[in-house]
Structure 1
Amino acid sequence: MRAAYKNIARVVRPHGTKGEVLVAPLRGLPLLLTESMQVHLTPPALKRERTSTVESLSVTPEGARVRFSCARNLDDAESLAGCYVLASCDDFELGRLDSAVGDLLGRSVVDERFGDLGSIVEVMETPANDVWVLDGSSHGEVLMPVIDEVIVELPEEGAITVHIMDGLLDL
């Protein structure tokens, strides 16, 4: 049987000149990376190892600073920017992933212009990004992409603030 894998983070940008990168967790998850964890960086590059090991990890105000075994210098780190970090579900507590998604369910979502959009009733995983299914407002069911351009504020508790793209509510 093949192991199940999940995208758990995204490489934001290089940090410094020694191959470190800043990494952001996905879909409001806690940081699931740990030192010595084997990961896959997707999409794969022709001249890069397919698997990599988390050699060091530190949490800073900017985000998680990570050194992967496949990145030894600034050029290597730059090639990782935008990659997703894929990890085997066996390498982290699946309960942490489930509870993070579960914590989103029922949370209210408020748009800066349109006000209350309802609450999250489902989190759909798609290859590109997650989609929140919102329901319970005068707008009916709203499918909202979970991308940086839309999410304004995602506090640990309370309403989530978003900026809906033009035309999304007209569909």
Structure 2
Amino acid sequence: MRSQYKNIARVVKPHGRKGEVLAQPLRGLPSVLTPGMRVALTPPALKRDRFCTVTSVTDTGDGDLVSFEGIDDLTAAEGITGCYVLANRDDFELDSLDAAYTDLMGREVVDERFGSLGTIVEIMSTPANDVWVVEGDRYGEVLIPVIEQVVLDLPDQGTISVHVMDGLIDMDK
């Protein structure tokens, strides 16, 4: 049975003194947060309700600047930093979110030094960042952290360019 709620974003940091936070969509997917959306913040805290309503969303290019009902000062915003934002599947267009996720699967990944690493076969979500599992003939399985220092170019279609950090490729293969 599919869960009624889906992780859609993670609160990265507070922004300003009025309770706004920077939230980034998970798995490099497009944002689906909208004003009026009822969401759950996890893990829950003792001093606030787990559920709240999104009051405003502004795309910053580096995530969304989000205001939640009841989070109205810097201390409250700091209290939800690191929380995941879960939304009811009925409150957003799941097809477009799943389509963006599946668009990454099977895409070729090329490193600037090592050439073609293979294709993305899985996307793992970790608390720090997502990780692409790339499989290819030359290097076998390579785990690519989805972070700014590694992912150089992520076009809507075609080959993804990366800079693999030292130690991530098993050169004995």
Same fold (TM > 0.5): yes
Closer/same/farther in 2, CA of residues 148 and 43 from structure 1, 3 Å limit: farther
Closer/same/farther in 2, CA of residues 110 and 96 from structure 1, 3 Å limit: same
Find the counterpart in structure 2 of residue 170 from structure 1. 170
Find the counterpart in structure 2 of residue 9 from structure 1. 9
Answer whether contact 2:118 2:134 (CA < 8 A) is retained: yes
Unaligned segments of structure 2, at least 5 residues: none
Taking the aligned partners of 1:100 and 1:115, their CA distance within structure 2 comes to: 25
Give deviations 1:108-166, integer Å, cap 9, x for gaps.
Answer: 11234433211112334567754423223400233444456644443323332334344
Find the counterpart in structure 2 of residue 44 from structure 1. 44
Taking the aligned partners of 1:38 and 1:166, their CA distance within structure 2 comes to: 43
Find the counterpart in structure 1 of residue 88 from structure 2. 88
Q: Secondary structure at the match of 1:101?
A: helix
Answer whether contact 2:130 2:145 (CA < 8 A) is retained: yes
Within a 5 Å distance, the mapping from 1:19-58 to structure 2 comes to 19-58=19-58
Find the counterpart in structure 2 of residue 103 from structure 1. 103
Closer/same/farther in 2, CA of residues 152 and 42 from structure 1, 3 Å limit: farther
Q: Which moved more, 1:154-163 or 1:122-131?
A: 122-131
Unaligned segments of structure 1, at least 5 residues: none
Closer/same/farther in 2, CA of residues 2 and 113 from structure 1, 3 Å limit: closer
Taking the aligned partners of 1:128 and 1:109, their CA distance within structure 2 comes to: 21
Taking the aligned partners of 2:117 and 2:85, their CA distance within structure 1 comes to: 31
Answer whether contact 1:28 1:154 (CA < 8 A) is retained: no
Provide the identity percentage.
Answer: 62
Q: Which moved more, 1:120-129 or 1:16-25?
A: 120-129
Answer whether contact 2:11 2:81 (CA < 8 A) is retained: yes
Q: TM-score, normalised by structure 2?
A: 0.82
Q: TM-score, normalised by structure 1?
A: 0.83
Taking the aligned partners of 1:166 and 1:71, their CA distance within structure 2 comes to: 41
Q: Secondary structure at the match of 1:123?
A: strand
Q: Secondary structure at the match of 2:10?
A: strand
Closer/same/farther in 2, CA of residues 124 and 40 from structure 1, 3 Å limit: same
Answer whether contact 2:110 2:159 (CA < 8 A) is retained: yes
Q: Secondary structure at the match of 1:164?
A: coil
